[in-house]
Structure 1
Amino acid sequence: MQTVETLNEGLKRAYTLTITSNDIDARVEKEVLAIAPQVKMPGFRPGKVPANLVKKMHGESLQRDALNSSIQDGVQKLIADQKLRPAMQPSVELDEGFEFGKDAQVKVALEVLPEIAAPSVDGIKLERLIAEVGDAQVEEAAARIASQQGAFDALPDDHAAADGDTVVIDFVGKVDGVAFDGGTGEDMKVKIGSGQLIPGFEDQLVGVRKGDEKQLNVNFPDDYGAENLAGKPATFDITVKSILDSSKPRLDEDFAKSLGLESLDQLKELLKGQIEQEHNGLTRTYMKRKLLDQLAAAHDFDVPPSMVEAEFEQIWAQLQHEAGHEEDPAAALAEMEAEKEDYRAIAVRRVRLGLLLSEIGQANGVVVNEQEMNRLIMQAAQQYGPQDRERFVQYVRQDPMAAAQLRAPLYEDKVVDFLFEKAEVTERTVSRTELEAAIEAEEEGDIKPHVHGPDCGHDHHEPAPKKAKKAAAAEEAAPEAPAEDAPAEKPAKKVAVKKAAPAEAATGDAAAEEKPKKKAPAKKAAAKAE
């Protein structure tokens, strides 16, 4: 094989490879000898078919395979001989005039990774903001869970329900005097003024007392999810079981035990630990952003345009998706277009930081070991069904790019942790509000890189510039809601008269409460708004 360099400009390289017809023919002959023992042909004993007949039968496919393998081997040899580090997959083009029996001219174009001077990891100074967990935060979290669970004290029997109270009712819904499917329920909790139910339902509960029986008159909205009910007048015969004080969640031992815990103190201890984890996550986010800012300020080198373009396309695609969910998508897209060059600059910086982190990791022996990789694979496999898990595991183990995509986030975290250990770190105690404000102040400069190099699977992170940055950074900075420790109310409780409410409207702990209630039993689905 002959190699001629045709371009060496910046990070761009181009070569012409000449693969001789003799090389291709030799590969064909070798493959003929390999498959001849398995070829069957009438008139010949198995394995005794002459090589020339085998070639005549399979010659065309053998030639194509030989050409492809010659090109693949040639490109790999080129990369090894020239000591190239491709930034992306090389472009390989066979001369249009090629004919079998003649030499093949192959054009190879690629961009290489830049040579980065060994980055110094000394002199990094970081501040660790520590937010301690106060009793008030724990009490607030516990009260939030109790509120979500409807753990309220009952009001006196003669109390007249008012706005903000929770009324517990049994009900039977009817259209034209006939009970409709899914319109019957027991012990449903309705908070007056919450707007959870169809218009007019909650308003008619004002003034009821425990033990009252009353008929409510309502109209299902025209856009109601059940077609047999949409736009129709209906009545609901209700019986008031009790009235609860929604303003004061009940926090006692019985409530804690209802969650499967031993005591209220155990609930508070669990919540304190979770809030501490949230604070640690926020602290890490702040430190990482400061670290990346220092690295970006101290290093400047050219980056491969193809990598920048790939990164930019990832950013742009996500921003377009987010713009489609804005109240005014056209205005959001127009704002994006006006700031397009800013986003492209972000792509440049992210690629540069990714290459820099990769270089630091390689220079300092940072690796994802086999045990960690196995754990990543098994964790990722859990999202598939039992039949597909083994196929996924095999796919990742056989495909280097798939493995790299899975490995990249952990590799990045390990490099960042290594730099944290090397840095000179001072500590300062702040409130959670101050910690969140510090992160907010950093959002304009935050750019999460993707580590490119031996662990690069181009698993690009979310963009985070300017206004769109706040939403993008939320995934990294927002703590998990403690509602996970508290099972949601049974879905049957709010099936009959719930009005339409988009899932996107629920956030934080509210979302954790609302989502399970949307999984209504099939027999009551007809009455539920979608």
Structure 2
Amino acid sequence: MATAVETLDKLERRITISFPISEVQSEVEKRLKLRARTAKAPGFRPGKVPMKMVAAQYGYQVENEVLNDKVGQAFSVAANENKLRVAGYPKIEPKNTEGAVEGSLTFDATFEIYPEFVVGDLSAAEVEQVKTEVSDAEIDKTIDILRKQRVHFHTKGEQGAHGDGGEPVAQNGDRATLDFVGKIDGVEFAGGKADDFAFVLGEGRMLPEFEAATLGLKAGESKTFSLAFPEDYHGKDVAGKTAEFTITLKKLEWAHLPEVDAEFAKSLGVEDGDLAKMRADIKENLEREVKGRVKAKTKDSVMDALVKAVEFDVPKALVEQDGQRLAEMTRQDMAQRGMNVKDVPFPPELFATQAERRVRLGLILAELVKANNLQATAAQIKAQVEDFAQSYEDPQQVVKYYYSDRNRLAEVEALVLEENVVNYVLGKSKVTDKMLPFDELMGNNAQ
């Protein structure tokens, strides 16, 4: 039996559930008899253990199972009868003796329900639609990056097939191999000494004073200089201290970048070495990357607009669940990166703001999809999978990869559904086009 639904807060509700103790006792006895058929105990054959011993061994566990089942069933019936959309899990607590029915067990089930809301007129919602062009300049920058990835180093000053690299003096762009030793107050410190240490000048891998001291040296030369470690230096033992370093340049090499010719094009997969085709391929890849990033930025703008346009209370239970999920995802991600996070706490509260937004958007998107028939169609899912596959050497194999696993296909379906919502909102809202420079869109990764 369940009482009428009590409203405790905007979304919080309570139902009082009760049922006769006799029902619980009867079900417990029934389950114990079933358990007795296979129960084992020293000195008894299986199934011949006395009921008193079975009850002593399993009674508490079986009673809890029966209570959980009874309360769960009663709550489910009450929620269905009252047409309640329960968010999260109910909190079940025994009700105090006051108000309880004699001979019955009584529990309070406190829970939240999903909010009722409608996504109204979106004509006033403001959305920024990003646009970016891929020009010859971006293709040239990409080619430069590809050349640097295929760089070869040659001893500076020695004549070779590609020249001698100029005067054998350390300059930015050269690779220096050196021995060094650092001391603080005349004492060597951990990590302050290395032999045959190589780095490329000008890449910012070393502290500025270290690179500055190396510039201008020739192979075989040494130099002693002072280096002040920053206060926020990752090595806590030396942070904020000044060390004296002695370096000896053992080898100096200059960087030879490959020429942009047929061989270079072949190294990028253009079989006939056609440079025009190479540039076309690079442009196609860049445009595919730009398309994905532009869609992501436009989607973010649409989601921001929806959060502002649709107001409602969000179930705390769903936010807490998503906060826990985000905390666990963060822990796993950091562990995969090689970090030791075994004893590091990840309180879900740290993710509360992000979780609240995710839950809110999930509810809004679900309402938009239901109200406007924006479900992903089979044709849309297929087109999206084929689009993913185009950037791989064997597209058909990638298509099979997605269609062989329901979870992978569900991820694609979710992306298509989001895109349907984005397109719907773009058609209903106030859209402003914004031209975004290529480098800004790519986060300056192209430089």
The TM-score range, normalised by the shorter chain, is 0.5 to 0.7
Which of 224, 236, 256 is the aligned partner of 2:248? Answer: 236
Alignment partner, residue 337 of structure 1: none
Task: State how far apart, in whole Å, the 1-side matches of 2:89 and 2:298 are.
Answer: 34
Which of 204, 214, 222 is the aligned partner of 1:215? Answer: 222
Alignment partner, residue 418 of structure 2: 416
Alignment partner, residue 280 of structure 1: 291
1:23 aligns with 2:30: no
1:358 aligns with 2:339: no
Contact 2:172 2:202 in 1 (8 A): yes
**Superposed, which structure 2 residues align to 1:59-208 within 5 Å?**
59-95=59-95, 102-117=103-118, 129-147=130-148, 149-150=150-151, 157=164, 159-160=166-167, 165-172=172-179, 182-184=194-196, 188=198, 190-191=200-201, 194=204, 196=206, 199-200=209-210, 202-206=212-216, 208=218
Task: State how far apart, in whole Å, the 2-side matches of 1:81 and 1:313 are.
Answer: 31
Question: Following TM superposition, by how much is the alpha carbon of 1:63 offset from its aligned partner in structure 2, in angstroms?
Answer: 1.9
Contact 1:151 1:255 in 2 (8 A): no
Residues 64-103 of structure 1, C-alpha deviation per residue, up to 9 Å, x if partnerless?
A: 222222222222222222221122322221235699x952
TM-score by length of 2: 0.62
Q: Which amino acid aligns with 2:46?
A: P
Contact 2:17 2:107 in 1 (8 A): yes
Question: Following TM superposition, by how much is the alpha carbon of 1:35 offset from its aligned partner in structure 2, in angstroms?
Answer: 0.9
Question: Following TM superposition, by how much is the alpha carbon of 1:182 offset from its aligned partner in structure 2, in angstroms?
Answer: 4.9
Task: State how far apart, in whole Å, the 1-side matches of 2:259 and 2:285 are.
Answer: 21
Q: Which amino acid aligns with 1:203?
A: A
- Indicate the RMSD between aligned Cα atoms, in angstroms: 5.3
SS in 1 for 2:111: strand
Alignment partner, residue 46 of structure 2: 46
Question: Following TM superposition, by how much is the alpha carbon of 1:231 offset from its aligned partner in structure 2, in angstroms?
Answer: 4.7
Task: State how far apart, in whole Å, the 2-side matches of 1:297 and 1:194 are.
Answer: 43
Alignment partner, residue 460 of structure 1: none
Contact 2:374 2:421 in 1 (8 A): no
Unaligned runs of 5+ in 1: 318-342, 377-396, 398-402, 437-477, 482-507, 511-530
Q: Which amino acid aligns with 1:24?
A: V
Contact 1:193 1:203 in 2 (8 A): no
Contact 1:114 1:304 in 2 (8 A): yes
Task: State how far apart, in whole Å, the 1-side matches of 2:170 and 2:298 are.
Answer: 46
Q: Which amino acid aligns with 2:415?
A: D
Alignment partner, residue 394 of structure 2: none
Contact 1:118 1:359 in 2 (8 A): yes
Task: State how far apart, in whole Å, the 2-side matches of 1:175 and 1:36 are.
Answer: 76
Question: Following TM superposition, by how much is the alpha carbon of 1:303 offset from its aligned partner in structure 2, in angstroms?
Answer: 1.9
SS in 2 for 1:91: strand
1:433 aligns with 2:437: yes
Contact 2:210 2:227 in 1 (8 A): no
Residues 30-52 of structure 1, C-alpha deviation per residue, up to 9 Å, x if partnerless?
A: 21122111023466543244545
Question: Following TM superposition, by how much is the alpha carbon of 1:138 offset from its aligned partner in structure 2, in angstroms?
Answer: 0.7
Question: Following TM superposition, by how much is the alpha carbon of 1:27 offset from its aligned partner in structure 2, in angstroms?
Answer: 1.9
Contact 1:173 1:234 in 2 (8 A): yes
Task: State how far apart, in whole Å, the 2-side matches of 1:41 and 1:200 are.
Answer: 76
Contact 2:225 2:246 in 1 (8 A): yes
SS in 2 for 1:141: helix
Residues 408-448 of structure 1, C-alpha deviation per residue, up to 9 Å, x if partnerless?
A: 97665333222355564999997542896xxxxxxxxxxxx
Contact 1:164 1:193 in 2 (8 A): no
* Greater mean alpha carbon deviation, residues 42-51 or residues 148-157: 148-157
Percentage identity across paired residues of the two chains:
21
Question: Following TM superposition, by how much is the alpha carbon of 1:108 offset from its aligned partner in structure 2, in angstroms?
Answer: 1.1
Alignment partner, residue 32 of structure 1: 32
Q: Which amino acid aligns with 1:108?
A: A
Residues 107-159 of structure 1, C-alpha deviation per residue, up to 9 Å, x if partnerless?
A: 11122112334878999998865433212111112213434554689896483
Contact 2:88 2:318 in 1 (8 A): no
Task: State how far apart, in whole Å, the 2-side matches of 1:129 and 1:202 are.
Answer: 42
Contact 1:216 1:238 in 2 (8 A): no
Question: Following TM superposition, by how much is the alpha carbon of 1:24 offset from its aligned partner in structure 2, in angstroms?
Answer: 1.1
Identify if the C-alpha distance between structure 1 residues 84 and 365 changes in structure 2 by more than 3 Å, giving closer, same or farther.
Answer: farther
SS in 1 for 2:85: coil
- Equivalent pairs counted in the alignment come to 370
Alignment partner, residue 387 of structure 1: none
Residues 253-307 of structure 1, C-alpha deviation per residue, up to 9 Å, x if partnerless?
A: 455556676548465444323321232123313432454466456644x323526
Unaligned runs of 5+ in 2: 158-162, 184-191, 328-351, 386-405
Alignment partner, residue 329 of structure 1: none
Task: State how far apart, in whole Å, the 2-side matches of 1:150 and 1:291 are.
Answer: 43
* Greater mean alpha carbon deviation, residues 76-85 or residues 151-160: 151-160
Contact 1:123 1:424 in 2 (8 A): no
SS in 2 for 1:199: helix
